[in-house]
Each structure stands twice: as structure tokens, then as C-alpha cells.
Amino acid sequence: GWMIVNDLPLSEFVQRIGKYQKGYIALDDDIAQIKISGTYPINDLPTLYSMLAVTYKLNINRYAQGYWVSIGEKK
């Protein structure tokens, strides 16, 4: 499946994809209100995270084979 969003705060987006993530997603509070728009593949989380990182200039790190995900501002 796909998730289609328009002007959704990143914090809400992360909450929605959390049910597809087998683990924990840590989101930096400084970027929680960035507005996200687009169509994202919820059955391919590595691609979803790559799309977010490129489109919104985010630093997304995955640990423990993707169980832990950290999302922050790219510096």
C-alpha cells in the first residue's frame, strides 16, 4: 500500500507510519512541525525513509536492521 498525505505535520506522519515500523521511531522536536506532502510506500519503509530524507533534507538513521529509526535535521 501507499500513504497519501498533504500538508501533514511530520510528527503526525511519523505516528501514522509507526504501525508499519517494527520498532521505535525517534523524531527530533525541532522538525516535528515540518509539513509533509506526497505519496509514500508503506510496504517499503527503507524507500519511504529515503524519499523523506531527500525531499525534506532530513538525516534519517536506521539501526539494528531497521528496528530503531532516528529522524533529525540534516546539518
pLDDT tens digits for 4-22? 999 999 999 999 999 998 8
Q: What are the angstrom distances between the C-alpha of 43 and each of 21, 26, 31? A: 10, 20, 24
pLDDT tens for each residue of 18-52: 999 889 999 999 999 999 999 999 999 999 999 99
Q: Enter the pTM of the model.
A: 0.91
Distance separating alpha carbons of residues 17 and 48, to the nearest angstrom: 10
Q: 49: buried, middle or exposed (CB in 10 Å: 19+, 13-18, 0-12)? A: buried
Collapsing DSSP to helix, strand or coil, 1 comes out as coil
Q: Which domains does the chain have, with CATH numbers?
A: 2-73 (3.55.50.30)
